[in-house]
């Protein structure tokens, strides 16, 4: 079977371009105690093209404690709303939900 170099190269480039991107790994965190109360951070003045992601408590299994992650600006995604990081209590256990983009509507 004979394949031209140009045809093979085009097929490889198309395959690499069309291949699905590897998704980020998701780690679920469930613990038996509540995070500390949120730290008040004033929201800075609006920045065009950005959305404010408020600070949150992150749990470190290595140190077995929470540490505060400061709020920060993230580039906006048109048609989406930012859902902040949060802790939710379920049957005496606390579950961490990562912040994420949610489509409007």
Report how far apart the first and last C-alpha atoms of the chain are (Å, whole number).
53
Residue 16 domain flag: no
Compute φ and ψ for 86, nearest 5 degrees.
-160, 160
Mean pLDDT of the 60-73 span: 90
pLDDT mean over 3-11: 46
Instruction: Report if residue 103 sits inside a domain.
Output: yes
Give the residue numbers spanning the domain of 62. Answer: 48-105
Has residue 92 been placed in a domain?
A: yes
Residues with Cβ within 8 Å of 103's Cβ and at least 6 positions away in sequence, in order, are 79, 80
The answer as to whether 37 is a domain residue is no
What does the pLDDT average to over 8-37?
60
Domain annotation covers residue 59: yes
| Domain annotation covers residue 89 | yes
Domain membership of residue 12 (yes or no) is: no
pLDDT more than 70, % of the chain:
73
| pLDDT for the residue 30 | 85
Assessment of whether the complete model's pTM goes beyond 0.85:
no
Domain count, the chain: 1
């Amino acid at each position: 079977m004979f394949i031209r170099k140009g045809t093979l190269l085009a097929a490889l480039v198309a395959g690499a371009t069309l291949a699905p991107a590897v998704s980020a790994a998701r780690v679920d965190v469930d613990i038996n105690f509540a995070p500390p109360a949120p730290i008040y951070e004033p929201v800075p003045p609006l920045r065009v093209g950005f959305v404010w992601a408020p600070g949150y408590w992150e749990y470190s299994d290595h140190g077995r404690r929470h540490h505060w992650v400061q709020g920060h600006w993230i580039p906006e995604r048109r048609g989406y709303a930012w859902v902040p990081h949060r802790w939710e209590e379920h049957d005496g256990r606390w579950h961490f939900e990562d912040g994420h983009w949610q489509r409007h509507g």
